Chains A and B, each alone.
Chain A
Amino acid sequence: MFALIRKDLQIEFRTKETLASLLMLGLLTLVVLSFALDPTSELRLEAAPGALWVAVIFAGVLGLNRSFLAERENDCLQGLLLCPVDRGTIYLAKTVGNFLFMMVAQLFIVPIFVFFFNLPATPALAGVFLALVLGILGFSAVGTLFAAISVRTRAREVMLPLLLLPLVVPIFIGGVKVTARVLAGKPLADVAQWLNLMGGFDVIFLVVGWLVFEYAVEE
């Protein structure tokens, strides 16, 4: 499994394509949403969490699409499936890889977000990162499964968001809620139920994905 993760990370380290496109798309989403939401108004604290999570989700969908498109080229996926490991292991490796890419992108996007929306840069932002870890883990757990599916369909790039966005509604609502509370200076205990919900979502879909992934990649 670690070999599989290392393979993805190494490819990324050499090309930096996925990370660059994740970052640029996240950045552009924030800029476009700033135009839509008027980041100078007093209401920006209300609007900001939504903007951050829309950026996360849009960039995430793009990254997930890429993760299996790369495997399709030169039939890499075939080679991957020939590995003497369980399909569930491949799934977990892919999920961890996607999770890491998205998290690294967030390390850059969150400061930009704070900068554009003129938010207080307090230690409370650690809470935002906690929400991001839980949210992105669940997002890549469901996303990796459906990226493997959508890459084989005719409408590849379109199909993934169509499948994924309704399914990750709990992550999105939870992420926005936690981010809003943290930015408003509330303690984390205040949002415990949301963190629990997102954690539960992560565990459930990691297990479901691990179980059914073999049906999503079989020829």
Chain B
Amino acid sequence: MNRVVRKAADTVLPWLTLVTMALAIFMVFVYVPTDRFQGIVQRIFYFHVPLAMMSFAAFGLVAIASIFFLWQGSRFWDRLAHSCAEVGMVFCTLVLVTGPIWARPIWGTWWTWDARLTTTLILWLIYAAYLMLRTVSASGDQEARYAAVLGIVGAVDIPIINRSVYWWRTIHPAVLITREGGSGLGDPRMQATFGVCVIAFLLLFIWLLWVRNESGRLRDALEDLRQQVLARESR
């Protein structure tokens, strides 16, 4: 059963992701009409928003996997949390890169301390620390426990951080009140493109998570084997 799932994921996922992503790129650059007010730069929105959605989902999964790890202590949850944090980090970085590219021509500034931007930045900082904590802890059980503690505390903290930066900015006159006002995607072709992009990034996310998780599993299996060999040799 496990082997079948693994085989299917290894063969189907990359191709499915490739095709959907190619379709998404085609739709973003060729199919979808250019936004009347924002011009060509608005097209980055079709990558930016799905990336943001996936990175938030990834960090949410880190918290869930961390809770399950502390509860059940199985390596599976630890690997899942680690993989989610790494993939989420890549996506979150891309969000912070694509955002300013769009913001410069539209808002006239690379960065503004808007609540949403600030929260994303702090999120990035927390999970950067999370990955660093994993590299500086003694590997194995200790690393997993420490990371799980941070995974949980971070997730509990995010709503509070969000609230505080929201109040922080809204007490001052808001630099920008809303972004697009609703989804801002009036044209059905825009909505279709956005939908395909969300699916494409979801697939990319699942695939990367899968690959990362598998490599983690293999590394653990290899470590187990090595321990067994060492134990036998010393006997």
- What is A's interface to B at a CB cutoff of 8 Å? 142, 145-146, 149, 152-155, 159, 162-163, 165-167, 169-170, 173-174, 177, 193-194, 197, 200-201, 204-205, 208, 212, 215-216, 218
Contacting pair B164 A163 (CB below 8 A): no
Contact B161 A170, beta carbon cutoff 8 Å: yes
Query: What's the tally of chain B residues with a CB closer than 8 Å to chain A?
Result: 29
Whether the pair A154, B160 counts as a contact (CB closer than 8 A) is no
Residues of B within 8 A of A204 (CB): 156, 160
| CB of A132 to closest CB in B, whole Å | 17
Q: Which of B122, B146, B154, B171 contacts A216 (CB 8 A)?
A: B146
Question: Is there contact, CB below 8 Å, between A170 and B164?
Answer: yes
Closest to B141 in A: A218
Complex contact B164–A208 (CB within 8 A)? no
Interface of chain B residues 150 through 175 with chain A (CB within 8 A):
150, 152-154, 156-157, 160-161, 163-165, 167-168, 171
Q: Which residue of B lies closest to A153 (CB)?
A: B136
Contact call A167/B157, Cβ cutoff below 8 A: yes
Given contacts A212-B70, A215-B70, A216-B146, contact A197 B163 (CB under 8 A): yes
A-B contact sample (12 more), CB < 8 A, given A170-B157, A212-B153, A215-B145: A152-B146, A153-B136, A153-B137, A154-B136, A162-B129, A163-B150, A166-B126, A177-B168, A205-B153, A205-B156, A212-B70, A215-B148
| Residue in contact with B146 in the complex, picked from A153, A167, A193, A205, CB distance below 8 Å | A153
> By the criterion CB–CB under 8 Å, are B145 and A166 in contact?
no
In the bound complex, residues from chain A placing their C-beta under 8 Å from that of B185 are none
Q: Which residues of A contact B153 (CB under 8 A)?
A: 142, 145-146, 167, 205, 208, 212
> Closest 3 CB pairs between A and B?
A170-B164, A166-B125, A153-B136
Contact flags B113-152 to A (C-beta < 8 A → 1, else 0): 0000000001001100100110011100010011011101
